[in-house]
Amino acid sequence: MAGLFLMTGPISAQQFSVTNWGHKDGLPSTTVYGITQTSDGFLWIGTGDGLIRFDGFQFVRSELPGVGIGSLGQVTAVKSTKSNDVLVVGTATGQLVSWSWSLKVSTMLGSPVEHIEELSDHTLQIETRNKIVRLKEKDLSTISSSPRNEFFMDAADRPAVGEGRTEERSPTRRALLVISKQKPLVRRLLRDANGATWIATENTGLFRIAPSGEVQHYTHSTGLPSDHIWDIFEDREGNIWAGTQNGLSRLRQDKFITYTLRDGLLSDIASSLTPARDDGVWVGSRSGLEHFAGTAVPHNVLLKGTPITSLLPIKDDTLLIATQTGIQKLSRGNIGRLEAFQSTPHIEQMAESETGDLWLYGQQAGLWHSKVNSSPERINEPSLAGQTITSLRGAQRDQVWLGLENGDVILRPPAGSHIFTSANGLTGGAIRFLSPQPDGTLWVASDNGLAYFDGEHFRHWDHESGLPRNRLIWTLPDQRGNLWLGYSTGIARLSVNDLLHTSPETRHLQYDFYDDGDGLKSNPEAYGGEPVALSPDGRLWVSMSEGIGMIDLARMRRNSVVPPVHILGLSADGRSLAPANGLKIPPHTRNLEISYTGISLSEPRKVRFRYRLEGFESGWQDVGIRRNAFYTNLRPGHYRFQVLAANNDGIWNETGDSISFELLPAFYETHGFLALCVLLISSLAFLLYRLRVRSAARELQSRFEERMSERTRIAQDLHDNLVQEMMGISLQLEIADEVTSPGSTAKGPLRRALDLSRTALANGRSALHVLRQRPFSSADIESTLRDTVQSMGSQEAIQILSSGKERPIQPVPGEEMVHIVREALRNAIWHAGQNNVVVNSEYGDHYHQFTVHDNGPGISESILQGGTPGHFGIPGMRERAARIGASLTVSSSASTGTQWTLRVPAQVAYESEDRVNQYPLPQGLRGSLSRLSGRKDRR
């Protein structure tokens, strides 16, 4: 694709850029017979290789439903009807196809179709090679048919333009008469939206006749791919498309107009630009000075052959002209040398302050200052030693701004100066241009970006802040609130208000960028100190690497057409899928690519996009000009992809296009599979738990057997030794009691000893019974407790109760339980006095509970917490409870008495065939595991 500037004849106020497409740009056939545009924005092109669809970015061979690509052959004419957006296609075989997305109608005309036109009554007029046929648009039935004659334009012809005929004396008619002298074979006539007439010819290229009568001629020698034009078409953005024998061309109205030697300039290298008092601009170059207005009117040329280094308009309507030999002045059209400046040659920059003071600078001459009507004085400024002044501009009062190569900026009155550096907020790059404003503010263009001085502080922006580039050539605000920035690659325009009110963290400044696609046929460049000028008539003039460029700010043409947006395709792991809502994407898809387009045919490469994937992204992704979205390793689920686009002038389509699809899960990503995995893992965990429990049970059973064996041994020793000896002692005491006379003083002690021996013997037998037996019964517990009461000689009312279904109690925990209850009973008897004591043994499903309650005076809190000094009853009770995993609580007060509560888990207390542990887990955890296993302990 190539872009060229074309203009012939006198200087024109309107220029067009021509862009061509051919084989290298993807156009399958370069013979373009017909062009049209449908309502969705696509351009449809009839070629020697079939029907082509074009979005400004890529060509796609299109297949209409029911019509194969190969069956159409050469498509020689295309037309999109305005009435119902029907695409009508004509071929070299005489086939005519009417297609409206779902309905296709076709007919044969018997002669190659060359042009299709929709008439005002919504009928179709078809031009074939030898006849003109009128058809009904709905069913392509014939209304009329007539022979066709070739149309050669000559002086006698009065060709129809648009829907009417041109007047005899109109500028267009006069231009047609001029063109007719070349006797072109006319193929198409077009009246564009601006009133200009376009004439496509078969052998002499393309003519444009402006409403003013100005003629522009476009041929192969001036940029078209061929002089043979088959068709011309105007799209809805105002671009003119030409189908030629050797490619597709687009003629786009330029925003900038570039002038060079070919347009009458003295030189293509402009060293200085300054606005003229009336209109236009003064251009200084190595070839002299000229006043240029960009029109066909002849312009003034002065000092021809004299190199001009700088220009400065001053307050008395005088233009100062710096040359290599000195400074001259132009006043009322007369040029004369300034006598006061004869001693200052080689001046390269000039500036005038608000009070009329003049400041002059040349790298060889140094810095000079002159008050009004006084001789200049050389300024010896220490801060300028070894430095180069790159920009010199007048400031308020009698001050001047100096921009230096080292990146500093100096504000200097005639005496003294203030130096600003990067520490004050400047960019740190070499200063290229200063643009002071009447309110005392200052814009600074540098190699490292843009800076702004508000009268007190500097702020700066660069590429990271959102500007197009870093290196600025110049900057200039206009009177419409815009700031213009000159770069070596183009010109940017942004809003001053938006720029100054954007936070420094913002990285997306909104701006328009103009380059070769907008009429800048070369790069902006600065050959002197004045590379840009804003003339009083509202035109911006810039120095280019070749010639000068101009844009009329009052007539800037903005593309207001909202670009249609289309999702073109979707690819899953390299496999193409039709982009339709409700699309099901196969499981295991790892890479997803979505292609889309935004159709703005004026400047397709400047169309910007943003998109988001709902279900994955929460915000919009600004992707610039990229036309593909990529996603990897998306989770299965429902998604909606939405894309928006903006045209080259920043007009957004806020609706865009969207597609909904579902990424199907693999079998192992379904909820059922996940539930099955959870179930299997839970079952495995439970199985491992049961195995661990069984292992622990075997270990504990072994320990239990060892303990029981030890208990049996102790019981045997107790029976064979201690109990037998106590029996002997008891017998001896009985004999001694019998032989002792009743009145003897030894009778009393002897009787007490005998009672104690009997009690000890009874306790020994009880202990022996405990050690030898296995489970405890309720009767065993009650008997043991009553023996305890008798051994203490208690006379209190003792009640021993039992509730619930009785179960055997395991010997080891049962022994601990009995010791705890006996100790509680002793405490109750000792502290209750003559009050009642109630002992209750409760058999429960989940626990066995003992309560010992008395209505005595209670026990103090200090004794409950730490026990009585030197006594270990209460601590011992708690230690025994802890050993068997039981809970022991006590509540006591003077009004209610004291209650001890011992709660033992059922799995600990009761004899069971599958008992696990004599020191089990806490009750809550064990209960949870029991519920998890789905079974109840057997009692």
- In this predicted structure, what is the pLDDT of residue 416? 73
Domain boundary among 128, 149, 170: 149
- In this predicted structure, what is the pLDDT of residue 607? 95
DSSP 354: T
Q: Is the pLDDT of residue 9 over 70?
A: no
Strands 409-412 and 400-404: antiparallel
Reduce the DSSP state of residue 22 to 3 states and report it: coil
- In this predicted structure, what is the pLDDT of residue 169? 55
- In this predicted structure, what is the pLDDT of residue 3? 38
Instruction: Provide the strand spans (E) within 315-394.
Output: 318-323, 326-331, 334-337, 349-352, 358-362, 366-370, 377-378, 389-394
Number of residues assigned to the chain? 939
Tell me the pLDDT tens digit for each residue of 508-531.
788 899 998 888 989 999 999 899
- In this predicted structure, what is the pLDDT of residue 19? 92
- Which tokens in the block code for residue 208? 């444009």
- In this predicted structure, what is the pLDDT of residue 936? 37
Q: Which of 293-297, 314-318, 732-736, 761-765 has the highest mean pLDDT?
A: 314-318
The answer on 683 and 646 residing in a single domain is no
> Comparing C-alpha atoms, which of 322, 379, 380 is closest to residue 347?
322
The answer on 181 and 144 residing in a single domain is no
- In this predicted structure, what is the pLDDT of residue 884? 86
Residue 802: inside a domain? yes
Domain boundary among 114, 149, 184: 149
> What's the one-letter identity of residue 665?
P
The answer on 790 and 901 residing in a single domain is yes
- Domain CATH code at residue 592: 2.60.40.10
The answer on 730 and 832 residing in a single domain is no
Q: Which of 103-112, 477-486, 849-858, 924-933 has the highest mean pLDDT?
A: 477-486
The answer on 930 and 888 residing in a single domain is yes
- Which tokens in the block code for residue 108? 């044969």
- Domain CATH code at residue 862: 3.30.565.10
877 pLDDT tier (thresholds 50, 70, 90): confident
Exposure on the CB side of residue 419, measured as CA atoms within 13 A: 12
Residue 684: inside a domain? yes
- In this predicted structure, what is the pLDDT of residue 148? 73
Residue 354: inside a domain? no
Q: Which residue has the higher pLDDT, 505 or 800?
A: 800
List, in order, residues 6 or more apart from 133 with CB less than 8 Å away: 109, 125, 126, 142, 144, 145
Tell me the pLDDT tens digit for each residue of 71-83.
688 999 999 998 7
List, in order, residues 6 or more apart from 82 with CB less than 8 Å away: 118
Contact between 647 and 619 (Cβ < 8 Å): no
Arithmetic mean of pLDDT, 269-295: 90
250 pLDDT tier (thresholds 50, 70, 90): very high
- In this predicted structure, what is the pLDDT of residue 423? 94
Strands 409-412 and 418-420: antiparallel
- In this predicted structure, what is the pLDDT of residue 542? 97
12 pLDDT tier (thresholds 50, 70, 90): very low
The answer on 635 and 765 residing in a single domain is no
Helix pair 923-933, 671-717: axis angle to 10 deg:
130
- In this predicted structure, what is the pLDDT of residue 919? 38
Q: Helix/strand/coil (H, E, C) string of 875-889?
A: HHHHHHHHHCCCEEE
Q: Is the pLDDT of residue 428 over 90?
A: yes
- Phi/psi for 753 (5° steps) reads -65, -40
The answer on 859 and 751 residing in a single domain is no
Q: Which residue has the higher pLDDT, 163 or 12?
A: 12
- In the sheet where 281-285 sits, what is the strand order? 270-275, 281-285, 288-292, 301-302
Tell me the pLDDT tens digit for each residue of 560-596.
999 999 999 999 999 999 888 999 999 989 999 999 9
| CA gap 3, 171 in Å, rounded | 30
The answer on 823 and 679 residing in a single domain is no
Tell me the pLDDT tens digit for each residue of 465-496.
889 999 999 999 999 999 999 999 999 999 99
Arithmetic mean of pLDDT, 138-151: 80
Tell me the pLDDT tens digit for each residue of 595-620.
999 999 999 999 999 999 999 998 99
User: DSSP for 513-553?
Assistant: EE-GGGT--S-B--SSSB-EEE-TTSEEEEEBSSSEEEEEG
Tell me the pLDDT tens digit for each residue of 323-335.
888 888 888 767 8
| CA gap 283, 310 in Å, rounded | 10
- Domain CATH code at residue 87: 2.130.10.10
The answer on 209 and 158 residing in a single domain is yes
The answer on 192 and 97 residing in a single domain is no
The answer on 613 and 692 residing in a single domain is no
> What's the one-letter identity of residue 84?
N
User: If you compute the radius of gyration of the chain from its CA atoms, what whole number of angstroms results?
Assistant: 54
User: DSSP for 107-175?
Assistant: EE-SS-EEEEEE-TTSEEEEEESSEEEEEETTT--EEEEEE----B--TT---EETTEEPPTTSHHHHH
- Phi/psi for 105 (5° steps) reads -130, 140
Tell me the pLDDT tens digit for each residue of 177-210.
667 766 678 888 999 998 999 999 998 999 998 8
Q: Which residue has the higher pLDDT, 342 or 179?
A: 179
Residue 766: inside a domain? yes
Residue 394: inside a domain? no
Contact between 86 and 97 (Cβ < 8 Å): no
- In this predicted structure, what is the pLDDT of residue 748? 79
Residue 442: inside a domain? no
Residue 355: inside a domain? no
> Comparing C-alpha atoms, which of 519, 35, 517, 15 is closest to residue 248?
35
Q: Tell me the residue range of the domain where 733 lies.
A: 670-772
| CA gap 210, 213 in Å, rounded | 5
| CA gap 855, 828 in Å, rounded | 9
752 pLDDT tier (thresholds 50, 70, 90): confident
- In this predicted structure, what is the pLDDT of residue 549? 94
Q: Which of 336-345, 561-570, 757-766, 888-897 has the highest mean pLDDT?
A: 561-570
The answer on 168 and 77 residing in a single domain is no
- In this predicted structure, what is the pLDDT of residue 507? 62
- In this predicted structure, what is the pLDDT of residue 926? 43
Quote the Cα angle for 697-701-704, to 5°: 140
- In this predicted structure, what is the pLDDT of residue 795? 58
Q: Is the pLDDT of residue 435 over 90?
A: yes
Arithmetic mean of pLDDT, 697-708: 74
**Tokens 């309107």 belong to which residue?**
14
Tell me the pLDDT tens digit for each residue of 675-695.
889 999 999 999 999 898 888
- In this predicted structure, what is the pLDDT of residue 551? 93
Which residues make beta-bridge pairs with 483?
477, 494
| CA gap 622, 98 in Å, rounded | 40
- In this predicted structure, what is the pLDDT of residue 813? 84
243 pLDDT tier (thresholds 50, 70, 90): very high
DSSP 635: P
Tell me the pLDDT tens digit for each residue of 302-320.
899 999 999 999 987 889 9
Q: Is the pLDDT of residue 147 over 70?
A: yes
Residue 213: inside a domain? yes
- In this predicted structure, what is the pLDDT of residue 922? 43
Q: Which residue has the higher pLDDT, 937 or 303?
A: 303
Contact between 242 and 232 (Cβ < 8 Å): yes
> What average pLDDT does the chain have?
84
Q: Is the pLDDT of residue 867 over 70?
A: no
Q: Which residue has the higher pLDDT, 607 or 2?
A: 607
Q: Which residue has the higher pLDDT, 707 or 897?
A: 897
Q: Which residue has the higher pLDDT, 335 or 343?
A: 335
- In this predicted structure, what is the pLDDT of residue 342? 59
Q: Is the pLDDT of residue 293 over 50?
A: yes
**Residue 725 parent element (H or E):** helix 724-739
pTM above 0.75, yes or no: no
Tell me the pLDDT tens digit for each residue of 768-786.
655 555 677 888 888 888 8
233 pLDDT tier (thresholds 50, 70, 90): very high
Q: How many domains would you assign to the chain?
A: 5
- In this predicted structure, what is the pLDDT of residue 508? 73
> Comparing C-alpha atoms, which of 433, 505, 504, 508 is closest to residue 494?
508
Tell me the pLDDT tens digit for each residue of 37-59.
999 999 999 999 999 999 999 99
> Comparing C-alpha atoms, which of 338, 313, 334, 314 is closest to residue 325?
338
- Phi/psi for 271 (5° steps) reads -85, -20
> Comparing C-alpha atoms, which of 103, 100, 130 is closest to residue 114?
130
Arithmetic mean of pLDDT, 131-148: 88
| CA gap 271, 308 in Å, rounded | 7
Domain boundary among 652, 668, 684: 668
> What's the one-letter identity of residue 161?
V
User: DSSP for 574-621?
Assistant: TEEE---TTEEEPTT--EEEEEEEE--TT-GGG-EEEEEEETT-SS-E
